[in-house]
Amino acid sequence: MRKRLLPLLLALLSPLSLWAWGAEGHRTVGKIAEHHLSRHARREVKKLLGTETLTLVSTWPDEIRFYPEFKDTAPWHYVNTPSGLGHDAYIQAVKTQTNANAYSALETQLRILGDESKPQAERAAALKYVVHIVGDIHQPMHTGHAEDKGGNDIKLKYRGKDTNLHSLWDSGLIDYQGLSYTEMACQYDRKLRHSQARAFQKSTPEEWLWESYSSSEKLYQETPDGTDVDYKYYPAHAELMKQRMVEAGVRLAGLLNDVL
């Protein structure tokens, strides 16, 4: 029992920089996706998850990654590339990476999810990974630089407290709002037109990563190591944060509608 409890305690005590979007952000993405599922996909999700929901399973890959048997999944949460790449060079770099990363993991888990010959438990686990990874790759700092651990080593001050660029985007901006994930999902999704949702779903995971990478490059330039982030940062970046979560939720639903 002690051996099983130790990784869980480490997970609970670990810094939020290890949790993409934070729990509230991931659950917001899952909740938005639930709004956009087709009837058929909704039934298939129910078959696989039972009493669980996309919202609740969205954080599962972060919760279990600290157990020894899941240590190999750590690279599934991000894609690192060099800075300064143009669109085509970036897409090529992502597609040709041989090391484990979020892009290759998403492709693998989608194949498992769509294979009805696979055991239900395996497909359910794949679904949970798909939900989480789609959220991860829409967080700009999950496409950051390997040398600074996706912004974890870019030390900042935000609202008078020590933090880092990765944590600021995982949870700092989200927590500043003081909203629950249900409130965020309703507010962010309410303004979305059907035509916008359809447009979001037409692009590919490679393009989603490119969008995040492009944003991360700007964020790196704006906030070098040691920056004291002032009160202007949230209003200047709130719309990007909200847009990325809405896009993640809508696109997740589009993937599940297709695969299931």
pLDDT in tens, 188-224: 998 888 888 889 999 999 999 999 999 999 999 999 9
Sign of CA dihedral 17, 106, 50, 251: positive
Query: What amino acid occupies position 105?
Result: A
CA nearest to 134, candidates 64, 186, 211, 196: 211
Q: Token match 């990325």: residue?
A: 244
Instruction: Report strand pairing: 161-164 vs 228-229.
Output: unpaired
- Residues 130-149: what's their mean pLDDT? 96
pTM reported for the whole predicted model = 0.91
- Residues 145-151: what's their mean pLDDT? 94
Q: Judging by beta carbons within 10 Å of its beta carbon (0-12, 13-18, 19+), is residue 23 exposed, middle or buried?
A: middle
User: What is the rounded (10 degree) CA torsion for 191, 192, 194, 195?
Assistant: 120
**Domains in the chain, ordered, with CATH?**
25-71+86-259 (1.10.575.10)
pLDDT in tens, 19-31: 567 899 999 999 9
pLDDT in tens, 71-128: 999 999 999 999 999 999 999 999 999 999 999 999 999 999 999 999 999 999 999 9
Q: What is the pLDDT of residue 20?
A: 60
Rounded Cα distance between 53 and 232, Å, is: 36
> What angle, 0 to 180 degrees and rounded to 10, lies between the N-to-C axes of helices 205-222 and 120-137?
40
Residue bearing the bigger pLDDT, 164 or 7: 164
DSSP 191: T
Rounded Cα distance between 154 and 166, Å, is: 8
pLDDT in tens, 24-52: 999 999 999 999 999 999 999 999 999 99
pLDDT in tens, 242-251: 999 999 999 9
Rounded Cα distance between 117 and 123, Å, is: 9
Q: What is the pLDDT of residue 195?
A: 87
